[in-house]
Amino acid sequence: MKGGIRWRTILVVSGLLPAGIPIPQAALCPDNDGDGYADCTVPGCDPTGVTCGDCADDDYGINPGAVETCDHVDEDCDGAVDEGFPEGVGEEKVMDGEGESGDDFGWSVAGIGDVTGDGVPDVVVGVPGDDVSGVSNAGSVVLLSGADLSVVCRMSDPGGASGDELGYAVAGIGDVTGDGTEDIAASAIFDDTLQGTNAGSVLIFSGADCSLVRKCTDPDGAESDELGFALDGLRDISGDGVPEVVAGVPLDDTAQGTNAGSVVVFSGSDCSVVFKLTDALADPQDRLGEAVAGLEDVTGDGTADIAAGAYLDDTFAGTNAGSVVIFSGADGSFVRRLTDSGGAASDELGRSVAGIGDVTGDGIEDIAAGAYLDDTGQGVDTGSVVVFSGADGAEVMKCEDLDGSADDELGVAVAGLRDITGDGKPEIVAGAFLDDTLGGADAGSVVVFSGADCSVVRKLTDADGLAGDELGYAVTVVGDLSGDGVPEIVAGARYADEPRESEPNLGSVVIFALESDCDGDGVTPYGGDCEDADADLFAGNAEACDVKDNDCDGSIDEDGDADGFGVCDDCDDGDPRVFPGAVELCNGVDDDCDGSIDEGPDGDNDGYEAPCDCDDGDGSIHPGAVEVCNHVDDNCDGQVDEGFSSLTTAEKVLDPQGLAGDEMGQSIAAIGDVTGDGVPDFAVGAPFDDTSAGTNSGSVIVFSGADRSFVCKGIDPDAASGDELGYSVAGIGDVTGDGVPDIVAGAYLDNTSWGDAGSVVVFSGADCSFVRKCTDTDPGGRDYLGCSVAALGDITGDGVPEIVAGAWGDDTSRGNDRGSALVFSGADCTLVLKLEDRFGAYDDELGYAVAGLEDVTGDGVPDIAVGARLDDTQQGNHSGSVIIFSGADGSIVRKLIDPDGPGGDQLGTSVAGVGDVDGDGVEDVAAGAPYVDLAGGYDAGAVVIFSGADGSVIRKCSDPDFGAADHLGTAISGAPDLNGDGVPEILAGVPYDDIPGAGNAGSVVVFSGANCSVVDKLTDPDAAYGDELGTSVAAVGDLDGDGVTEIAAGAPLDDVSAATSAGSVSVFATESDCDGDGCSPFCGDCDDVDSSRYPGAVESCDGKDNDCDVAIDEDNDADGFDACNDCDNANADVWSTPGECRDLMFAGDRQTLTWQTPVELGGNLVVYDTIRSGDSSDFVTNAFCVESDDGSDTSATDASSPAAGAAFYYLVRAENDCPDGQGSLGRSSAGQERTARACP
């Protein structure tokens, strides 16, 4: 040893050093961690006397002799991680946040080295259908960060043109710019170059900054060559130290014929053509270059070589059996042709090709080629992958998916994957893009085959995949993204639909991490398991009070349901309605987290505790009580008077100031109690009301819910003619802080800074005074802001509700009338959110309808539903949709469409939150589609109910008595449970319903939320042609105190008192008629257990208020005689004398009566029932009849015998032409009620 350096003497053959001069010997390969195993991969180290194989020489526990444990590390350095432990798959899906329908994001994919400098490889994605800067299908290329899958940059051709489809193929090609960063190649196969239309080009982009480096074209190319159909990088073969680019030209017309195909090798340095490769034995239509691959040296000359697929080559196996041609990278010469010895016609071998590493163990890279139409034992066009020796082209093996089926088309794409099974052989990845999986037909899959024997290692599918996604159309292997030392697999699903918005063919890329699931919780680290040794920790798990991050969101024991109480204090942290201090409900749940369920006081001592006792102040009302007909829910089952007959009463409400053309009833809303009488009130819009502000300036009218009287009218002091304030209206809660709910109304034609830009006006509920006006900070002409309005809960955290308003005419960057919805602060009208559909298009009319929802996303913030009635969805033009937006940030949660709805349905014309109809605890959403065609009736209309939780269709409601052009669903509203099944109902306006004798009079259908059966159909008893009842509809709350909501519906074209289209609102109450008199309390029955008392009854002499006008026994017919003195109290032409003739005397014989002349009775016959008695208690038995044929007589003779002899005679009754001789008996002068008459 000299100076610590090992020396040895070598024989110098070349004479470069004098013989015998010692030179330094290489240092021993290091064993830095002292585990007895050296890292012999250190360049130039001497392995003499050491044991090699340490794959982590800084970790004592990792070496070839270590025992493998499940920790996502290769402890035993065999190339496999966690072998022998449960396998899992981590999955991440990426969609283009700026994408749109038809982009086909994921048409091509490529792994690339670390270009972002974070130590993690990155991913390149082709988007050939991308419309760049308004240029249709110009195409783009997206660079994704491998670390977090965010978009690093988007590359496009500055000179690109419509239809170029840049991104048809992509490849990582090594560093061609000399900046130390790998660069990217992408083809634009339909680029019109100097060589002709669709000649195609290849663009090279900088991996460092995504700038365009250069564009490569084939100087010998021609029209329709489609250069770049396939791409790959190739190690430097030109000797300039720069990698090359290989591009397939399958439609190149060569000397061998039309579409014989070729392969162009471009210099990475300058895009000059290094080689143009053709098959001298090719035939027309072989399509050489359909697939290409840059190989390692398979010819042994030290130069990288090239493989190209000719998938329509007619070989010995048959027409279109296909082949793969190997070309020398050294001189471009033909090396060999690879064919499937067991192939058959139309197998189309060579549709894909890849170098896969050495699977034969001969030290030479081998080749895999897809025969995607191979008919295997699994069926026609199941597909296969054929593995060939790189050394001699011999067929090594054929890989098939034994669980595959016909038309899977396995092998449409292939890639090599380094050994993950620990057998020392690389694996093979193949796409089966038409595989029918659990996601649906043609959802697609990716199969990983063992390089040792073609057995299936894994079959990968997208857990969220859908029919037609075509996952696996493109596949690649990228480096280790998850940090476990194992490369990840990237697969393109070119036709994946955006699941939230059902946007077709947006495309996606799925990254699969093949890793173990050490804790067996079903989630791997790449899939979101932050601690794979603890089964209690994984993404999506419920947070528990255990000082762990159970849901892997970076927070511990947090408030999972956003109700203000963390998991340690909340007895159900998954339900925001349950928390300490919550109001206990009768629901079998411990709402207030005190350990007791449904507990409360028993104030009436009936043995039932509140809250299950629905009236804890009345001992006769409790669960289990016998229901009686009294307009009370005696048994607390949520129904009133069940089992008894009911009737629906309609009361028409008018604007006492209304005039022709006001169209009051265009909108209607429940607003809560603004009058302080404990009864909810309601507001009605009259958009064509001519106020002091001008013609058709519009107004909003508040009516009392208690008696439907006019309360106040709101007008905009800054209004102008034609604003049409009141086109929409909503109750919004208290935004002024006075404790009274307030009102918002849309003036969608208000000319603010632009004509018809529209506005939203807030009025005080206390007095209808103007509070403030909300406008768009970036308005445009004919935005029509305020065409719809709704209340929204507090999303800003200031304790004040917000306002959401539609602007269906808003012209956005994506087209005129695309539409939007705006969320304004209820406190000051500042703009909180502007909601747009990023996939929206011209004429969608998003915002035509809006609704504030409860929290449907589970983040504790109310959300928003917005209708886009003219959205052109997959179902057809103007089929319509509803978009759910997050109230937290305005992002799109999902798009709701009717999968059975064809074009023209206009779903989203109306929208409402309708409560929980499916019992999952989340509010559901209903949307009107008034142009749905039913069998035998066009435009009959329907209402579609969607799950608020996931957007699926729950059910679709239509009127079984529909008629053509009824337009059911023009307006909709939710309503509480009306039929006692515990499920809310849905109200649907049918403004063009033809009722008997009145076309387009309109109606309202009440649908069961449970099954869409018709609970009731409401019409105006006074309906007339063209009233259009049901233009608006709302459940306005319990107005009559029976615990059941009333329903109000607008008929804006109702002609009121000869005022054409003044408009009206009908308020409907359905309740029992306990006494069967045909009238319920809502219609004014003041005693519903007495059938003699109801509005309109004739007042009779019975000491009761028969006609319910608060007066008793009054003169109904105004003839001057009350009920007790009128034999017909409903006929002013019939009456009786006062009950007593005065100064009645005997005339001598005691048989003659005399009296003063009575009041003129107007008839010819006077009949007196008279009694005589000396004993006032015995007068009835002594009754006698006195008749006079002249009302002017003043005497009469008692014809009875014996003569009376009593001192007093009492006149019982006087009659004048009373029907059937009947009249009121009245009372005697002694005050006795007369019970019988003497005259026959």
Q: What is the pLDDT of residues 722-756, one digit of tens each?
A: 999 999 999 999 999 999 999 999 999 999 988 89
CA distance 972 to 1034: 8
Q: What is the identity of the amino acid at 1077?
A: D
Reply yes or no: is the peptide bond before residue 1202 cis, omega within 30 of 0.
yes
The answer to whether the beta carbons of residues 927 and 951 sit under 8 Å apart is no
Same fold for the pair 111-278 and 290-516: yes
840: phi > 0 → left, psi -120 to 50 → alpha, else beta; which?
beta
Task: Name the pLDDT band for 1047 (thresholds 50, 70, 90).
Answer: very high
- Can you tell me the distance from the alpha carbon of 583 to that of 603, in angstroms, rounded to the nearest whole number? 17
The pLDDT, as a whole number, for residue 1057 is 82
The domain locations on the chain are 25-66, 111-278, 290-516, 1138-1221
Residue whose token pair is 């966690």: 82
**479's tokens:** 């480096």
Report the candidate in 925, 920, 919, 922 with the shortest Cα–Cα distance to residue 897.
925
Structure confidence by residue, pLDDT tens digits, 463-515: 999 999 999 999 999 999 988 888 999 999 999 987 666 678 899 999 999 88
State the pLDDT confidence band at 278, using cuts at 50, 70 and 90.
very high
Phi-psi region of 431 (alpha: psi -120 to 50; beta: other; left: phi over 0): beta
Q: Is the pLDDT of residue 15 over 50?
A: no
Spatial contact of 716 and 770, defined as CB atoms under 8 Å apart: yes
Cα–Cα dist 1207/1228, whole Å: 15
Question: Class assignment of domain 290-516?
Answer: mainly beta
**What is the distance between the alpha carbons of residues 65 and 76, in angstroms, rounded to a whole number?**
6
CA quadruple 284, 286, 287, 292: dihedral positive or negative?
Answer: negative
Pairing of strands 699-703, 710-714: antiparallel
- CA 1121-1127-1133 angle, to 5 degrees, is 65
Q: Residue 160: CB partners within 8 Å, gap ≥ 6?
A: 132, 135, 138, 139, 166, 188, 191
Residue 1035, both tokens: 């459940």
CA distance 745 to 757: 15
Other Cβ atoms less than 10 A from the Cβ of 97: the count is 9
d(CA 710, CA 657): 9
Two tokens at 207? 């991996």
Burial pattern 1162-1191, b for ≥16 Cβ within 10 A else e, equals eeeebbbbbbbbeeeeebeebbbbbebeeb
pLDDT higher than 70, residue 1228: no
Q: What is the CATH number of domain 111-278?
A: 2.130.10.130
- H or E element that contains 305: none
Burial of 48 (0-12, 13-18, 19+ CB in 10 A): exposed
For the ranges 332-341, 636-645, 1030-1039, 1045-1054, the lowest mean pLDDT is seen at 636-645
pLDDT, position 55: 94
For residue 666, give the nearest of 757, 749, 782 by alpha carbon: 749
Q: Quick one: what percent of the chain has pLDDT higher than 70?
A: 88
Q: Using alpha carbons, list the distances in angstroms from residue 1036 to 392, 703, 1002, 1070, 1135.
A: 84, 11, 19, 13, 46
Among residues 106, 120, 108, 122, the alpha carbon closest in space to that of 183 is found at 122
What tens digit of pLDDT does each residue of 74-105 get? 999 988 888 888 888 889 999 998 888 889 99
Contacts with 732 (C-beta within 8 Å, 6 or more apart), sequence order: 741, 742, 743, 744, 762, 791, 801, 803, 826
pLDDT for 1124-1168, tens place per residue? Answer: 766 677 777 655 543 334 444 545 444 455 554 443 443 333 444
Quick check: 235 and 243 in contact, CB under 8 A? yes
For residues 243 and 615, the model is more confident at: 243
1123 phi and psi, to 5 degrees?
Answer: -60, -30
pLDDT computed for residue 1235 by the predictor: 47
The CA distances from residue 823 to 44, 234, 747, 809, in Å, are 68, 55, 16, 16
The predicted pLDDT at position 1171 comes to 44
Calpha distance 576→416 (Å, rounded): 49
Dist CA 1135 CA 1112 (whole Å):
18
Residues in the chain: 1240
Phi, psi of 712 (to 5 degrees): -165, 165
Question: pTM here?
Answer: 0.77
